[in-house]
Every structure is written in C-alpha cells, then in structure tokens.
C-alpha cells in the first residue's frame, strides 16, 4: 500500500498571529495537512501543494513572497480571508476562495480538494450582520462573554493589534487590554496566538461592511 503524505500548504498573511493561530487549529489534522512556515516554503516552493493568501494589508514585500511561491511551485494561490466573495467577482489567477470562518475539518477538506486540482469557493454560513450575532451562531454563548468581549475577540481573531482595536472601537489601550484579559480568562487562554486559534475554531466573523472593513 502506498502511503499518502499530508498536503503541504503555506500561508501568506501579513499578520504573524494569523499563521500561528491557523497552525494551532490544524494541529489535530497533522496527518492530512502540513502548514509550513514561509521561510521553509521559500526554500522549497516546488514541494507546496496549496498557497493560501490573505489579500488584506499586504505589502510590496509580502506580494513579492507570493510571486516567488507561485513561480517556484507552479501553483495558483487561494484567497483565504474574512472577506466574502462578491457576487459575480472574478478570481483571475486565483484557484479559489476560502473563508476564515470555516471550521477546521471543513478547511482541511477544502485544502485537500484544492491540492487535487479542484476549484473551491467557500464562504461563511450567512448570519445576521456583525460579529456579536455571528458569535451566538457559532455557539460561544457557553463562555459567558459580554458583547464587548466577544466583539474584541472577533477583532483579535482577525489579527488587529490592540491599538487598531482601540481606534476601531474608540477605546483606550488600557480598556482594550482589560477586555482582552477578562475574555482570555473566560475562554481559558493566556496568549494571543491561543486566542486567535480559539476564535478561528469557534467561527468568529469580522465586522460587517457597514460597520467597517479590515484594509
């Protein structure tokens, strides 16, 4: 019997915490999907099966990294973002679009399909607009989060810094830190990467377009 190796993927995302959170979420699926860091991917891009790409807040340097990975692997990149696909939007050279709200099992299945050459378009399950109702839909009410704590965890999951969260919600840095500390205690995490992993696992969605977009 021929052993099937795990799919090898990498993530081009300008927020380092996003990669750390995704790595933690995918740990139980190590036998199916191996998320390699960018340095490793750049040393051997031909070994990649899937390149995930978050288009929000990219820099010329990260865009050059994406070009090198695509050229070296001869693979098309896949958008992996909180932003939903606009109806009728064309993806051009992209192989597909995956929502960051996908549960881990569905994400792994989708990446496996992409590695097999399929085009995959996956958006999050529609819910009423705004992160707080998305939190309720994702079943996080058991953690007794206040609406503000849930809102801030949603922004942490998206990769925003404390300063960016404060600016978005018109809160002081100290207030943001206080909300984060109490939220961390309730979801039983101690580090930001763990909070990102928790948020991704529990389907925290971004603010609606009417409330503001990342990027």
- The residue to which tokens 């949603």 are assigned: 154
**Which one is predicted more confidently, 122 or 57?**
57
**92 pLDDT higher than 70:** no
Q: Is 89 exposed, middle or buried (0-12, 13-18, 19+ CB in 10 A)?
A: exposed
Identify how many contiguous H helices and E strands the chain contains and give both numbers: 9, 6
* Interval 118-134: pLDDT, tens: 777 764 433 333 443 33
Task: Spell out the domains of the chain, with CATH numbers in brackets.
Answer: 7-122 (3.40.50.2300), 131-201 (1.10.10.10)
Q: Residue 177 corresponds to which tokens in the numbers above?
A: 């830190």
Q: Residue 176 corresponds to which tokens in the numbers above?
A: 């943001």
| Residue 122, SS3 per DSSP | strand
* Interval 165-204: pLDDT, tens: 888 777 888 889 999 999 999 999 999 989 988 888 777 7
């Amino acid at each position: 019997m021929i052993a099937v190796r795990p799919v090898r993927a990498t993530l081009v995302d300008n927020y380092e915490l996003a990669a750390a959170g995704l790595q933690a979420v995918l740990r139980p699926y190590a036998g199916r999907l191996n998320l390699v860091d960018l340095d490793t991917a750049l040393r051997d891009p031909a070994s990649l099966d899937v390149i995930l790409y978050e288009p929000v807040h990219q820099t010329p340097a990260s865009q050059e990294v994406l070009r090198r990975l695509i050229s070296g692997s001869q693979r098309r990149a896949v958008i992996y973002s909180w932003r939903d696909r606009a109806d009728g939007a064309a993806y051009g050279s992209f192989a597909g679009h995956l929502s960051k709200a996908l549960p881990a099992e569905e994400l792994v299945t989708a990446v496996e399909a992409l590695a097999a050459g399929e085009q995959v378009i996956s958006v999050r399950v529609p819910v009423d607009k705004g992160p707080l109702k998305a939190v309720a839909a994702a079943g996080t009410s058991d953690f007794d989060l206040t609406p503000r704590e849930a809102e801030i965890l949603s922004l942490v999951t998206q990769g925003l810094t404390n300063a960016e969260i404060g600016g978005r919600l018109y809160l002081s840095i100290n207030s943001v830190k206080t909300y984060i500390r109490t939220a961390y205690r309730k979801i039983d995490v101690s580090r930001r990467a763990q909070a990102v992993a928790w948020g991704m696992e529990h389907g925290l969605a971004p603010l609606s377009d009417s409330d503001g977009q990342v990027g």
